[in-house]
Structure 1
Amino acid sequence: MPAADRPILSIAIPCYNSADYMDHCVESLLTGATDVEIIIVDDGSTKDNTAAKADAWGRRHPDTIKVIHQENKGHGGAVNAGLAAATGHYFRVVDSDDWLGRDALGLLLSKLRGFVASGDPVDLVVTNYVYEHVATGSRRVIRYLGPLPTNKKVAWEKTRLFALGQNILMHAATYRTQVLRDSGVVLPEHTFYVDNIYVYVPLPNVRTLYYLPVDLYHYFIGRDDQSVNESVMLGRLDQQMRVTRAMVEAHKLPEGIPDRKLARYMENYLALIVAASSIFAIIRGDEEALEMRRSMWEHIDSVDPDLRARLGRHFVVLGSNLAGPLGRRLSIAGYRIAQRLFHFN
């Protein structure tokens, strides 16, 4: 497809038994009109009428909405399908129970149009996201003031230190589509928490970033069956460990990273993932979980002993790996304090 005929932004919506809430998501994206290509991926839904709803949306908006039906492959498989089908200059994912702010989407599209017209488009656009917590009725905005200058195209060398809680998650990231494809990122199927792989693996291919300080992504959190609910995460610890393994193997730090500040950012991000995997194993506390934790560290050591040593000295990793029964209780207590402060699950 000629560049001039391509949509500015492709948005993939992975849907699995999403009939109760997918309409709100789709409606929020349609405000982008002809600049947006919406790709609804019905990931083998069988328990409700997700597939029929997706087809109905496609019939109503044939020039804007593509519908893909596939056998169930999990969130990662749905994102892979969306990326493969995308024709837009830029690409992002919106989960079916989340939504985008109307005005913020309009501002993002205006910026993206300018980047495309310039002939030298930005590789990664970062926007704010909002935790909309159903249980508490609270909302918390994650901003990138500090590490990234606002409304300015920059290289990694011009970034500053990212604070805890400021990792560029999938909710914040709008990638140039070709950057994702050039990175070779393919997400594991039938695995939760792959959004960390999605946003992490392509980073060495990102040469330029742009922070647009608008509250774009609204992340609905707090349902009992949600993947980030703690009890659900404990039951899926093996999948969390699989994601951790994939991130460890993605790049050898820091030698395989083209910029010192990018290497630092990626190592700090990896430290948080390792710490989360460790603390969930400790909270579960059974022998299978603790063996997964031991295997995680053995794997990191086998990939890069120096990386293992550096991660072991990182303060969030130290805090989640205190020795002995008392140390484990203190690690869990620290996690509970962070949980109350940040409302991340």
Structure 2
Amino acid sequence: MELENPLITIIIPIYNREQTLERCLCSVLRQTYSHLEIIAVDDGSTDHSRVILDKYQKKDSRLRVVRKENSGVSESRNLGLQLARGEYIQFVDADDWITRDATETLLKAMQTGSEMVITDYYRVIGRKIWIKGHIPASSLMSRAEFARYMMKSPANFYYGVTWNKFYRMDIIRDNALFFSRELDWCEDFKFNLEYLKYVSNIRVETRPIYYY
């Protein structure tokens, strides 16, 4: 039975992002869905990211700042997962931002009977913005249907990244899923492939909610 107001954990890995961090944090803290736990993992930043994080942590008790020595984005995400108390997991990168209703949209999509949500996203280059996706229509599909689409373009960011997806924490915890510390790239794609092994249905939303 789905809870009406579940806690959602948003994990933000950060390393030297003083130029974009405030924009990211503001977009997360201003979500229309407010029952959030925001875990910002500072991966040993040497710029003013630390100062910005301290300022926002004082403003909003939902923001939890965790600091560690620099060891990479996989370790940061894994630490966030270890500390997460939410029923659902959302990832946001510190140089990106999300629409005001991003989390609410993801939650509603998940509650249609799915175990993962994937959305289109905005690709931002300077002042130009494109909508990016791959599956043409919003729908609830089986893992086999989803895999057929993915095999047409497996290298597409749409499938590989974590930030346009929504995850169930019980699936991550029960199957001891984590980001590989050995990989310098595609660690997120590997995580997604591992997660997909344990799901039956995926909700596709063609409405973009993330600015990359």
Counterpart among 77, 83, 88 of residue 81 in structure 2: 83
Give me the identity figure in percent: 26
Q: Distance in 1 between matches of 2:44 and 2:142?
A: 40
Q: Give the unaligned 5+ runs of structure 1.
A: 116-120, 220-345
Mapped pair 1:52 → 2:51: yes
Aligned to 2:199: 206
Counting strand residues as a fraction of each chain, which structure ranks higher?
A: 2
Alpha-carbon contact 2:135-2:149 (below 8 Å) kept: no
Aligned to 1:106: 104
Aligned to 1:61: 60
CA offset at residue 188 of structure 1? 3.4
Q: Which amino acid aligns with 2:197?
A: P
Q: Distance in 2 between matches of 1:170 and 1:56?
A: 27
Alpha-carbon contact 1:182-1:205 (below 8 Å) kept: no
SS in 2 for 1:23: helix
Distance change in 2, residues 1:111/1:167 (3 Å): closer
CA offset at residue 191 of structure 1? 5.2
Q: Distance in 2 between matches of 1:198 and 1:155?
A: 19
Superposition RMSD on alpha carbons, in Å?
A: 2.4
Q: Distance in 1 between matches of 2:125 and 2:64?
A: 30
Higher RCO (CA < 8 A, seq sep 6+): 2
Counterpart among 154, 158, 161 of residue 169 in structure 1: 161
Aligned to 1:185: 177
Alpha-carbon contact 1:75-1:190 (below 8 Å) kept: no
Distance change in 2, residues 1:38/1:140 (3 Å): same
TM-score normalised by length of structure 1: 0.53
Greater alpha carbon shift after TM alignment, 87-96 vs 187-196: 187-196
Q: Distance in 1 between matches of 2:99 and 2:85?
A: 23
Q: Distance in 1 between matches of 2:116 and 2:104?
A: 17
Aligned to 1:40: 40
Aligned to 1:291: none
Aligned to 1:25: 24
SS in 2 for 1:214: coil
CA offset at residue 198 of structure 1? 2.5
Structure 1 or 2, whichever has the larger Rg, is 1
Distance change in 2, residues 1:161/1:104 (3 Å): same
Aligned to 1:92: 90
Alpha-carbon contact 1:179-1:205 (below 8 Å) kept: yes
SS in 1 for 2:25: helix
Q: Which amino acid aligns with 1:14?
A: P
SS in 2 for 1:215: coil
Alpha-carbon contact 2:109-2:203 (below 8 Å) kept: no
Q: Distance in 2 between matches of 1:209 and 1:53?
A: 36
Q: Distance in 2 between matches of 1:145 and 1:183?
A: 27
CA offset at residue 95 of structure 1? 0.8
Counting helix residues as a fraction of each chain, which structure ranks higher?
A: 1
Matched residues, number: 203
Q: Which amino acid aligns with 1:210?
A: R
Q: Distance in 2 between matches of 1:57 and 1:15?
A: 14
1:115-135 Cα offsets, whole Å, 9 max, x none, are: 5xxxxx52101111221123x
Q: Distance in 1 between matches of 2:56 and 2:96?
A: 17
Q: Give the unaligned 5+ runs of structure 2.
A: none
SS in 1 for 2:94: coil
Distance change in 2, residues 1:106/1:18 (3 Å): same
1:133-165 Cα offsets, whole Å, 9 max, x none, are: 23xx4333222434xx5243x322344434323
